[in-house]
């Protein structure tokens, strides 16, 4: 019987990283997210599967592992997204019915029943740490070996080239969660996308991410000086950040830019008004 998923590499103690498009974790029968590769888990003992958040690339084969006997746990705020991934697509389109071709692959997934909430966690193998902002219920996990799996709460500096506007529903929460990561005692930090980094290397990436959040805010404040509609604000940020021009990138940007607009509005840095039946945003002097 294999002791850990195929191709997994041991980082510290009993904690393994299972590499994939989405990195997963494994420790002594506890899985943290999944890769997309069912074969890698065949015969591996897995009693519990903890999901960082309700985006389909993080629980792609959870239904298979649950059928094989694992208990699936997710945060209260994200559990519905795991059980019904279509909610993400509906949310993206303001709950109206979207058509199939406009939806991003990342949000389409196989539903998986959730057996319990991270809020009721009682497992010495790891500790869930709330890291909201990418989604409301996003959590990281710190294993007993000092390995912190951060899901999508941290993007390494080298990833920003590829993802110049990472999905975020609440940049204020993203920044606070980066502070939580920086303050968590650990030996390794493992983001879901990218490579594991050592504790010493982590602050540089946290600071870079914080700097990018700041830069996007500054960009918006500048772009909104004479007022822009929501649609224009999305186009402005997308163009200036160098996003690819396609439907998937557009719809992700709509949510993320609205996240920034809401943050700046809440801080009193911009105003919102309706003019000629369009929503406008303008920087306050």
Q: Are 22 and 57 in contact (CB under 8 A)?
A: yes
| Residue (106 or 235) nearer to Zn ion, CB | 106
Nearest to Zn ion of 20, 223 (CB atom): 20
- The CB-of-55 to Zn ion minimum distance in angstroms stands at 3
Residue nearest to Zn ion according to CB distances in the complex: 55
Q: Which two tokens stand for residue 263?
A: 């943050």
Task: Please enumerate in sequence order all residues whose Cβ is within 8 A of that of 160, keeping only pairs 6 or more positions apart, or say none.
Answer: 166, 208, 212
CB of 225 to Zn ion, least distance (A): 32
Do residues 148 and 201 make contact, with C-beta atoms less than 8 angstroms apart? no
- H helices then E strands: how many in the chain? 7, 15
Residues 37-56 that bind Zn ion (CB under 5 A): 55
Please, are residues 137 and 119 in contact by the beta-carbon 8 Å criterion? no
Contacts to Zn ion from residues 136-155, by CB under 5 A:
152
Nearer to Zn ion, 55 or 125 (CB): 55
The residue (of 54 and 223) whose beta carbon lies closer to Zn ion is 54
Q: How far is the CB of 230 from Zn ion (least distance, A)?
A: 23
Query: Residues in contact with Zn ion, total (CB under 5 A)?
Result: 2
Contact 204, 261 (CB under 8 A): no
Site map 53..82 versus Zn ion, x via CB under 5 A: --x---------------------------
In the DSSP assignment, the letter for residue 12 is E
CA 130, chain centre distance (Å) = 12
Shortest distance in whole angstroms from residue 124 CB to Zn ion: 27
Q: Which residue's CB is nearer to Zn ion, number 125 or number 134? A: 134
Give 37 or 152: the residue with its C-beta nearer to Zn ion.
152
Which residues are bridge partners to 207 per DSSP? none
> Hey, what are 14's tokens?
């009993």
Interface with Zn ion by CB under 5 A: which residues? 55, 152
């Amino acid at each position: 019987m294999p002791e850990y998923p195929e191709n997994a590499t041991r980082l510290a103690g009993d904690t393994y990283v299972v590499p994939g498009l989405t990195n997963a974790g494994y420790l002594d029968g506890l899985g943290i997210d999944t890769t997309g590769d069912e074969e890698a888990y065949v015969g591996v003992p897995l009693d519990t599967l903890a999901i960082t958040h309700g985006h389909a690339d993080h629980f792609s084969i959870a239904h298979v592992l649950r059928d094989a006997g694992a208990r699936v746990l997710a945060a209260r705020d994200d559990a519905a997204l795991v059980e019904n991934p279509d909610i993400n697509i509906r949310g993206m389109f303001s709950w109206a019915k979207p058509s199939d071709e406009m939806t991003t692959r990342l949000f389409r997934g196989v539903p998986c029943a959730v057996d319990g909430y991270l809020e009721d966690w009682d497992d010495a193998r790891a500790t869930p740490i709330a890291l909201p902002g990418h989604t409301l219920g996003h959590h990281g996990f710190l294993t007993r070996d000092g390995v912190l799996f951060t899901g999508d709460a941290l993007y390494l500096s080298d990833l920003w080239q590829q993802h110049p506007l990472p999905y975020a529903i609440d940049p204020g929460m993203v920044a606070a969660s980066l502070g939580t990561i920086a303050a968590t005692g650990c030996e390794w930090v493992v983001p879901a996308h990218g490579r594991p980094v050592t504790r010493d290397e982590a602050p540089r990436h946290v600071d870079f991410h914080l700097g990018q959040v700041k830069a996007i805010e500054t960009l918006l404040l500048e772009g909104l000086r004479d007022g822009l509609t929501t649609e224009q604000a999305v186009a402005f940020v997308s163009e200036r950040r160098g996003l690819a021009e396609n439907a998937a990138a557009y719809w992700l940007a709509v949510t993320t830019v609205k996240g920034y607009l809401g943050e700046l509005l809440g801080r009193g840095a911009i105003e919102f008004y309706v003019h000629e039946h369009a929503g406008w945003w303008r920087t306050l002097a």
